[in-house]
Chains A and B, each alone.
Chain A
Amino acid sequence: KQEVTQIPAALSVPEGENLVLNCSFTDSAIYNLQWFRQDPGKGLTSLLLIQSSQREQTSGRLNASLDKSSGRSTLYIAASQPGDSATYLCAVTSDRGSTLGRLYFGRGTQLTVWP
């Protein structure tokens, strides 16, 4: 069964720092990997989607990389701001027959950026 792990579970940094969130998964048979953001009491907002054939995706100050063979992804946030404070979730879409299309989530990294 696919297991997705996110490290660290929580991170607190001062404004302006560049930071890296890590995600690892146990089964490399994935269709894609998604990074989400969740604000307290809200649903999930998709940040970046990386197809299994891609190595990275960028959106503004966010850059996500994918190393499918080693089962790892990182989310890089440049010049962090207090508005980046949220929980960041990593999820992989299974490419394996019996679970095709299912999303498996990590437990998230709770990020606090203080002024």
Chain B
Amino acid sequence: NAGVTQTPKFQVLKTGQSMTLQCAQDMNHNSMYWYRQDPGMGLRLIYYSASEGTTDKGEVPNGYNVSRLNKREFSLRLESAAPSQTSVYLCACSGGGTEQYFGPGTRLTVT
């Protein structure tokens, strides 16, 4: 029982490159979330998915797209990376209104 897993753990991109961050959970939870964590800014919600087949924007969605592939997987795509997207990306899941469980994070640097 791995909980929430994220790949890759680290990534360096050049400005303009694209990539997809992967998140998977084996907790059978309906809701999944993507956050970014920046020094001095705390965690901010990028996108969330209340259930399979639905996605909604959070506080800072610009520059990102998401896909809820199935109940287990929720991916985050950067189509054209910018230095402002250098951050730690955290994925989480919850059973709806209850505790959120977080993955270990992806540390992304955009040069």
Contact = CB atoms under 8 A, between A and B. Distances in A.
Interface in B29-53: 31, 33, 40-45, 48, 50
Interface of A: 31-32, 34, 36, 41-46, 49, 89, 91, 93, 101-103, 105-108
A102 B94 CA distance: 11
A44 B96 CA distance: 18
Given A43-B104, A102-B48, A103-B33, A93 B42 contact: no
Looking at chain A's contact residues, the main secondary structure is strand
Contacts of B40: 107
Interface in B56-109: 58, 90, 92, 94, 96-105, 107
A43 B50 contact: no
Contacts of B101: 46
B98 A49 contact: yes
A43 B37 CA distance: 10
Given A42-B104, A44-B90, A31 B42 contact: no
Given A32-B98, A44-B90, A102-B48, 8 more contacts: A31-B97, A41-B107, A43-B90, A43-B104, A45-B102, A102-B45, A103-B45, A105-B44
